[in-house]
């Protein structure tokens, strides 16, 4: 029988954090050594009966354990087989949403410590490896819908529905906001927590908000008007809409640069302009209107705006650093002089029209 620490060390290695005592400590807090051993066994998917034969145990008692583990999302069930989450992200995104209340005070700080000390670098190394493989970026920026409305040179017919939050919400047959798995756990800013947007389109998506009797704060369905008001508030706060980099995405994060597990690590490593896929738009400045207040610089998370001297003006005026602008539009919507707008600079094929599964298989196959 392996020692307790051996189980969690091996499991941490399997999930992509070799030698990480921090991640092993998270695993130890979230499951028993016996459950950890089952996760090791289920790195090769198996049904309950197949696993029972493999580890020589009673099928009925094993089924009860697997049901409980699947309910807590520390394992997944695909068709009739159980499988260990493929990596830390998959484990985190599933398990933290269904964690029992009495564990949160203990486990959330462990996740925060791991994120800032180690996980950020693991994530960026993975993003870099994906880029080097030739696969498209895993995440993209969606422009603030109020910035699109404030940009008269952009015609409505030029805007793709899956890059406009208003159209995305109108197409959704079920819309919920859930806890942000970043801010909700390591809470490094005052931005709202329950703004992780899940939409469900009439053509059944690959993933849906999961129901559970154990979820003490179940996701509440919201109306189109309620959802749009929340999105407007996120944009006013300077949060950036970031889904997966496909037209088929059904999860839209509203991201800050203090907590977000995409933006923060990339900024930390100086890789955000290289890795994060921009929207099809870019900010532009009418310097005649610019009042030089620099509010846009304060709003920009991507170091894409600088102040420069302009002939005939005593004030410095804002100027866009084109190669840095990711087209989020948060600078546009609060400009007091309405000097900033978005311009369309990339074609429709800039956004992959593959499924979520194809997006990630692309990276694995390359």
pLDDT tens, residue by residue, 16-69: 999 999 999 999 999 999 999 999 999 999 999 999 999 999 999 999 999 999
Q: From CA 327, how far away is CA 342, in angstroms rounded?
A: 7
**213 has a pLDDT exceeding 70:** no
Q: From CA 342, how far away is CA 303, in angstroms rounded?
A: 17
Q: Are residues 142 and 73 in the same domain?
A: no
Q: From CA 151, how far away is CA 146, in angstroms rounded?
A: 9
| Final residue belonging to a domain, choices 98, 115, 147 | 98
Q: Are residues 28 and 174 in the same domain?
A: no
Does residue 126 lie within any of the structural domains? no
Q: Can you give the CATH number for the domain in which 56 is found?
A: 1.10.10
Q: What is the pLDDT of residue 365?
A: 45
pLDDT in tens, 215-263: 445 678 999 999 999 999 999 999 999 999 999 999 999 999 999 999 9
DSSP 8-state assignment for residue 118 = I
Burial level of 128, CB count in 10 A (0-12/13-18/19+)? Answer: middle
Q: Are residues 283 and 163 in the same domain?
A: yes
Q: Which domain holds residue 251?
A: 132-365
Q: Are residues 87 and 200 in the same domain?
A: no
What distance, in Å, lies between the first and last C-alpha atoms of the chain? 39
| Final residue belonging to a domain, choices 39, 74, 98 | 98
pTM score over 0.85:
yes
| Final residue belonging to a domain, choices 52, 81, 98 | 98
Q: What is the mean pLDDT of residues 71-90?
A: 94
The residues, any chain, with a CB within 8 Å of residue 203's CB and separated by 6 or more, are none
Tokens of 289: 């209107």
**307 has a pLDDT exceeding 70:** yes
Q: Are residues 92 and 140 in the same domain?
A: no
Helices 4-15 and 33-41 cross at an angle (nearest 10°) of 40
Q: Are residues 86 and 136 in the same domain?
A: no
Tokens of 263: 């933006």
Does residue 73 lie within any of the structural domains? yes
Q: What is the pLDDT of residue 220?
A: 82
Does residue 107 lie within any of the structural domains? no
Beta bridge partners of 81: 78
Q: Are residues 62 and 144 in the same domain?
A: no
Contact between 111 and 120 (Cβ < 8 Å):
no
Helices 48-55 and 59-71 cross at an angle (nearest 10°) of 120
Q: Are residues 308 and 230 in the same domain?
A: yes
Q: Are residues 88 and 196 in the same domain?
A: no
- The beta-carbon contacts of 307-311 under 8 Å, at least 24 apart in sequence, are none
Does residue 14 lie within any of the structural domains? yes
Does residue 115 lie within any of the structural domains? no
Does residue 10 lie within any of the structural domains? yes
Tokens of 364: 């694995």
Does residue 154 lie within any of the structural domains? yes
Query: What is the domain count for the chain?
Result: 2
Higher per-residue confidence, 98 vs 232: 232
């Amino acid at each position: 029988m392996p020692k307790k620490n051996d189980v969690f060390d091996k499991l941490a290695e399997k999930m992509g954090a070799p030698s990480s005592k921090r991640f092993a400590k998270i695993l130890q807090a979230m499951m028993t050594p016996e459950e950890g051993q089952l996760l090791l066994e289920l790195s090769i998917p198996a049904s309950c009966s197949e696993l029972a034969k493999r580890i020589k145990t009673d099928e009925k008692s094993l089924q009860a354990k697997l049901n409980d583990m699947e309910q807590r999302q520390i394992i997944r069930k695909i068709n009739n087989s159980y499988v260990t989450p493929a990596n830390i992200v998959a484990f985190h995104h599933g398990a933290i949403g269904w964690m029992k209340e009495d564990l949160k005070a203990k486990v959330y700080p462990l996740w925060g410590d791991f994120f800032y000390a180690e996980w950020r670098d693991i994530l960026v190394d993975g993003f870099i490896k994906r880029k080097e493989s030739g696969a498209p970026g895993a995440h993209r920026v969606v422009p603030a819908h109020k910035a699109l409305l404030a940009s008269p040179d952009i015609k409505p017919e030029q805007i793709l529905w899956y890059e406009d939050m208003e159209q995305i919400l109108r197409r959704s047959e079920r819309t919920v906001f859930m806890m942000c798995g970043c801010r909700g756990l390591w809470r490094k800013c005052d931005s709202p927590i329950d703004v992780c947007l899940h939409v469900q389109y009439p053509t059944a998506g690959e993933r849906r908000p999961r129901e559970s009797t154990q979820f003490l704060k179940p996701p509440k369905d919201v109306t189109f008007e309620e959802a749009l008001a929340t999105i407007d508030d996120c944009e006013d706060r300077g949060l950036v809409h970031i889904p997966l980099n496909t037209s088929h995405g059904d999860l839209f994060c509203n991201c800050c640069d203090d907590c977000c597990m995409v933006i923060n690590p990339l900024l930390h490593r100086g890789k955000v302009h290289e890795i994060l896929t921009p929207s099809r738009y870019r900010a532009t400045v009418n310097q005649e209107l610019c009042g030089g207040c620099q509010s846009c610089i304060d709003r920009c998370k991507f170091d894409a705006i600088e102040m420069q001297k302009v002939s005939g003006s005593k004030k410095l005026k804002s100027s866009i650093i084109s190669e840095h602008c990711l087209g989020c539009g948060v600078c546009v919507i609060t400009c007091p002089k309405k000097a900033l707008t978005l311009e369309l600079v990339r074609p429709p094929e800039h956004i992959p029209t593959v499924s979520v599964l194809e997006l990630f298989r692309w990276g694995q196959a390359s």
